[in-house]
Structure 1
């Protein structure tokens, strides 16, 4: 089919890194790591991102079987241009990392307060809740599950997820999965180890501009390439 494993890998890696640095899920991982054991937060966040990447790539791989190759190629080209312009617009209108970090932190603080209020009731109430706890949480840490769910649903429908679907429909899906997982791993580890300090050193505007230009380059390349060559 003319797919290139290395091309899919490099495109997916570059797109993922530029899309995820400074993302809300990036900040969520950083904040969770400040309050909970890092290994659990890393396992939960990274597990969610890996599952999301594989699901997105599989959807992209299946798309040509549902639509014609020409249609999926054209849709992917349009998506690249749309996301490129969207990212550039975000670069011009972005209020800054501090506001987004504070917004994510406020949401997590609200969840934490709700958990604390729900935990009131003494030891007997705690024992009762442990007995009533869902089956899965008896084997997986609640912190891991919280990190997984926050990240998974935070990424669902995100620009990077839709772009991964489009990329996998036009490139080698295995390469897209490998590049996406590596990119997600790099970003998540960076967030866990020092997300707040890293975000303060990296300009969100520059990340938005860089990802916008990258998407536009992908769009031009896809526009110039024939369907059979993509």
Structure 2
């Protein structure tokens, strides 16, 4: 394995773990796993995160082909510094450890109640089965729910943009491998650890460590020569 792959892998793994652990999709996976079969929740959440990681890496890999390598390098460097300062700001201004947990739980509770309070008779149930969305005829609704919540929760998130920047500056294959491993570790911990683990994670500490890591990536990128 080449040095560039190893470097992209280690950076992506560290960034993913510090970006994902304790965030909204992590908490959502933990809460969903308490209400639905864990294997379906894990499959849905992890599939969404893997797809998002690959898409982000592809965008980052294609960026140097759409603009000059030098410009891409400088943009990636600015992204790392920007995300570092963003994370440090979040860490120092964190309102409370349980704030995000309560917010996500409230959102999921609203959705959960909306889908369980309606009572239907047998005829209506049969009609629903015939007219239900195409994908639910092949995949579990729970799996699709976990996938959609995670995918759209990650879209435009700091970790997605950081993955794009990392793939533009490092070996994209290494970035994908590190990102997938990091997502697997975080999502598995959320599903198995449940709400108790999510509530014990210090969002402030994770944000501060993540900020420092992004700043280090930015300094390393700034000092590295453009190929």
TM-score range, shorter chain: over 0.9
Post-superposition CA distance 1:77-112 (Å, at most 9, x none): 000000000000000111233111111011011111
Give matches, 1:129-144, under 5 Å. 129-144=128-143
- Within 5 A, what are the aligned runs for 1:56-135? 56-117=56-117, 119-135=118-134
Once the two structures are TM-superposed, the CA of residue 3 in structure 1 deviates from its matched residue by: 7.3
Q: Distance in 1 between matches of 2:113 and 2:197?
A: 27
TM-score (norm 2): 0.97
Alignment gaps of 5+ in structure 1: none
Task: Say whether the 8 Å CA contact 2:30–2:198 is kept in structure 1.
Answer: no
Question: How far does residue 199 in structure 1 lie from its aligned partner after superposition?
Answer: 2.8
Could you say which residue in structure 2 is the equivalent of 1:22? 22
8 Å Cα contact 1:8-1:173 kept in structure 2 = yes
Structure 1 CA distance, aligned partners of 2:97 and 2:56?
27
Kindly indicate whether the alpha-carbon contact (under 8 Å) linking 1:97 and 1:199 is maintained by their aligned counterparts in 2. no
Q: Can you list the C-alpha shifts for 1:89-148, whole angstroms capped at 9, x where unaligned?
A: 00011123311111101101111122124x422121111100001221111000000000
Q: Which runs of 5+ in 2 are unaligned?
A: none
- Asked whether the equivalents of residues 167 and 176 of structure 1 are also in contact (C-alpha less than 8 Å), the reply is yes
TM-score (norm 1): 0.95
Structure 1 contact 57–177 (Cα < 8 Å) conserved: yes
Aligned to 2:34: 34
Post-superposition offset of 1:203: 1.5
Per the TM alignment, residue 202 of structure 1 is displaced from its structure 2 partner at its CA by 2.7
**Contact kept? 2:15, 2:213, Cα under 8 Å:** yes
**For the residues of structure 2 that align with 1:56 and 1:195, how far apart are their CA atoms?**
28
Structure 2 equivalent of residue 208 of structure 1 = 207
Q: What is the rounded CA distance, in whole Å, between the counterparts of 1:123 and 1:38 in structure 2?
A: 28
Q: CA RMSD in A?
A: 1.2
Name the CA distance, whole Å, in 2 between partners of 1:165 and 1:26.
20
